[in-house]
Amino acid sequence: MQAHLNDLRHLVEEEDAATAARLEKARVFVAQHLPTNTKSAWREYFESIGLAVLCALILRGFVIEAFKIPTGSMIPTLLVGDHLFVNKFVYGLRVPFTKKYLLEFSEAKPGEVVVFSFPSAQARAHIAQQPASKRDCIDRGSLENEKDFIKRIVGVEGDTVEVRDNQLIINGKATERTFLRKEATGNFLYPHEVHESETLNGFTYTIQFVGSDVNFGPITVEPGRFFVMGDNRDKSSDSRCWGQVPVENIKGRAMIIWWSIGPDSMRWERIGRFIH
């Protein structure tokens, strides 16, 4: 009986050895013919970071870009410290790092709030032709440096733009305005700031100005140009000062406020607000 058990044990051991040998041969074959592509942890990190940077550059170049409001020229629509996203894809697909379009989807329209590259050379030439009394409507630093501006389009190619007693007139027709309120300024010469609702091309927004009678124009918008103005009409350096904006300088349309911080605290109520 014991002899039979010993024989059975030897057979199992021999079978295990044979199985182990076959497994080792299979492992060697796989290692020789199907090498594994193992990556180090650092390589995976760098690849992930590189992919994220590439996606961010594509989004910034073609689709969307963040912009911060540095001045009060668009108050009350946009406040200093507002951070917003600009839709760069809405008007078309540009050739990277150029102002030329591969595909054009639509054209910017009156009433839209747009971000554009400031045409500094054109602005310098325009201001040089103005009387000396009208040349201080923009700081010299803005005329020398490339930067982005944000304004509202009020006139497109062929439009006649005019301002009479603070009333915007397009092609001989006054824009629809509704009085909202007056606010004290503390200024002896201009004691009140007027807030009014204005409608242009289906866009309704709020503008503000002091009581002084402001006149401009009439002037015709040149081919391939836009006439832009700030909603803070008395405190905006815009086309009334330095001329019209070339179509190719438009970078995109202001879309939504994603962050807003004032001098003292967060402005939570402005976050998520769409820009009209």
Q: Closest by alpha carbon to 110, among 158, 65, 180? A: 158
Whether the pLDDT of residue 17 is over 80: the answer is no
**CB neighbours (10 Å) of residue 260?**
21
* pLDDT band, residue 11 (cuts 50/70/90): very low
Do 99 and 218 form a contact (C-beta atoms < 8 A)?
no
As a whole number, mean pLDDT of residues 103-112 equals: 87
Bridge partners of 207? 196
What percentage of the chain carries pLDDT values higher than 90? 53
| Number of residues that make up the chain | 276
Alpha helices in the chain, H assignment, sequence order: 2-33, 41-58, 120-128, 140-144, 239-242
- pLDDT score at 137: 84
Whether the pLDDT of residue 225 is over 60: the answer is yes
Whether the pLDDT of residue 6 is over 60: the answer is no
Whether the pLDDT of residue 41 is over 60: the answer is yes
What whole-number distance in Å separates Cα of residue 155 and Cα of residue 176? 15
Do 73 and 229 form a contact (C-beta atoms < 8 A)?
no
Of residues 13 and 140, more confidence is placed in 140
* pLDDT band, residue 57 (cuts 50/70/90): low
- pLDDT score at 2: 46
Whether the pLDDT of residue 101 is over 80: the answer is no
Reduce the secondary structure of 46-110 to three states and give it as a string.
Answer: HHHHHHHHHHHHHHHHHHEEEEECCCCCCCCCCCCCEEEEEECCCCEEECCCCCCEEEECCCCCC
Whether the pLDDT of residue 32 is over 70: the answer is no
Interval 154-186: pLDDT, tens: 999 999 999 998 999 999 999 999 999 998 888
